[in-house]
């Protein structure tokens, strides 16, 4: 791939990410058509609180470019090891999480090696989320 082609691909991915983030997390999760992004990508959201909460943060993870997030390389490596199955990421060994109920819901939508990915799970708190999903939902503040 030439530098011009790479720059064009990166620019296109960044424009798509900006458009998705401008829509807001709830709309962007359903707005990203699989045909518009190429390669391995996931649109990730984390919602704090119960189902009525509006405290949602989101990010686009682009694994072919490993750009878009601080922990992108780690997240993509963990996903590669689990063949794109977020539920297949091994739990962090030795993680000690408090038994405080502060629910967080993790949602991922995208594609991995040409297969659609859809994941949604509510965890009792953010520590349990991190222990069970590694760097995938470690969104930048």
- The pLDDT of 76-91, averaged and rounded, is 95
The separation between the first and the last C-alpha atoms of the chain, rounded to the nearest angstrom, is: 33
pTM of the model: 0.70
Ordered by start, the domain boundaries in the chain are 3-133
Select the more confidently predicted residue: 59 or 34. Answer: 59
Q: Tokens 């799970």 appear where? A: 121
Contact 120, 40 (CB under 8 A): no
What is the rounded CA–CA span in Å between residue 88 and residue 85?
5
For residue 110, the cross-strand partners are 42, 117
Lowest model confidence (mean pLDDT) among 17-26, 60-69, 110-119: 17-26
Average pLDDT of every residue of the chain: 78
pLDDT digits (tens, 9 = 90+) for 17-46: 444 444 444 444 444 444 566 788 999 999
Phi-psi region of 129 (alpha: psi -120 to 50; beta: other; left: phi over 0): alpha
71 has pLDDT over 70: yes
Number of H helices, E strands in the chain: 4, 4
What's the pLDDT score for residue 113? 92
Considering the domain 3-133, what is its CATH architecture? 2-Layer Sandwich (3.30)
């Amino acid at each position: 791939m030439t530098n011009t082609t790479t720059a064009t691909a990166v620019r296109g991915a960044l424009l798509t990410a900006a458009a998705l983030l401008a829509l807001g997390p709830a709309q962007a999760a359903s707005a990203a058509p699989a045909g518009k992004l190429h390669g391995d990508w996931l649109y990730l959201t984390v919602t704090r609180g119960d189902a009525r909460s509006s405290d949602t943060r989101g990010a686009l993870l682009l694994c072919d470019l490993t750009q878009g997030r601080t922990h992108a390389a780690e997240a993509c490596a963990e996903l590669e090891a689990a063949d794109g199955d977020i539920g297949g990421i091994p739990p962090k060994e030795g993680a000690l999480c408090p038994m405080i109920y502060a629910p967080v819901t993790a949602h991922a939508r995208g594609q991995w090696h040409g297969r659609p990915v859809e994941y949604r799970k509510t965890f009792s708190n953010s520590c349990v989320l991190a222990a069970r999903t590694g760097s995938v939902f470690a969104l930048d503040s």
